[in-house]
């Protein structure tokens, strides 16, 4: 993330600790964009997203691993801030213990420590079709940070 100042990176990291919804864009081989809302985890260098192997986005990523992701927040006063990530992803399908760790981390961000224990998302955590989309971005754009 050499294209981002330390100050801006700190602001990005602070923003991404919130359980915001990310919008992830993929494209098919004809260039048709596909944008979907996703839950994520950010560890300061890598964006981790859970998904199912039978989704359109994963099918497109298997053929074209390039994505853009925007995570932003708009306030009532019209103030906006966010971040755009661009790069190529890696689809992580195992080992299962690594996947479980990432799923629990991501789902706990949105559902809390008690919510993650419910039947759903526990069934998602154990689903063999659930995988991790790993993006270590090669381009980061801070928006109004």
Res 117: pLDDT: 83
Res 74: pLDDT: 86
Res 1: pLDDT: 58
- Which ranges constitute the DSSP H helices of the chain? 6-15, 56-63, 96-115, 119-126
What's this model's pTM, rounded to 2 decimal places? 0.91
Using CA atoms, how far apart are residues 98 and 87, in angstroms rounded to an integer?
A: 22
Tens digit of each residue's pLDDT (9 = 90 or more) over 58-102: 999 999 999 999 999 987 888 889 999 999 999 999 999 999 999
Q: What is the mean pLDDT of residues 44-51?
A: 96
Q: Which structural domains are found in the chain, ordered by start?
A: 6-143 (2.30.110.10)
pLDDT-wise least confident of 39-48, 116-125, 131-140: 116-125
Judge residue 18's burial from the number of C-beta atoms within 10 Å of its C-beta, 0-12 exposed, 13-18 middle, 19 or more buried: exposed
Instruction: Between 145 and 113, name the one with better pLDDT.
Output: 113
CB 80 within 8 Å of CB 73: yes
CA-based torsion, 104, 107, 110, 116: positive or negative? negative
Res 145: pLDDT: 61
């Amino acid at each position: 993330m050499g294209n981002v100042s330390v100050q801006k990176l700190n602001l990005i990291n602070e923003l991404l600790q919130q359980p915001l919804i990310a919008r992830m864009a993929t494209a098919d081989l004809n260039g048709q964009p596909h944008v979907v809302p996703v839950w994520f985890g950010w560890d300061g260098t890598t964006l981790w997203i859970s998904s199912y192997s039978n989704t359109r986005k994963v099918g497109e990523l298997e053929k074209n691993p390039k994505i853009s992701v925007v995570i932003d927040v708009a306030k009532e006063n019209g103030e906006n801030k966010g971040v755009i990530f661009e790069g190529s992803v890696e689809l992580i399908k195992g080992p299962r213990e690594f996947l479980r760790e990432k799923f629990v981390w991501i789902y706990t961000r949105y559902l809390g420590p008690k919510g993650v224990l419910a039947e759903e998302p526990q069934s998602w955590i154990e689903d063999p079709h659930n995988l991790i989309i790993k993006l270590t971005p090669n381009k980061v754009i801070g928006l109004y940070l």
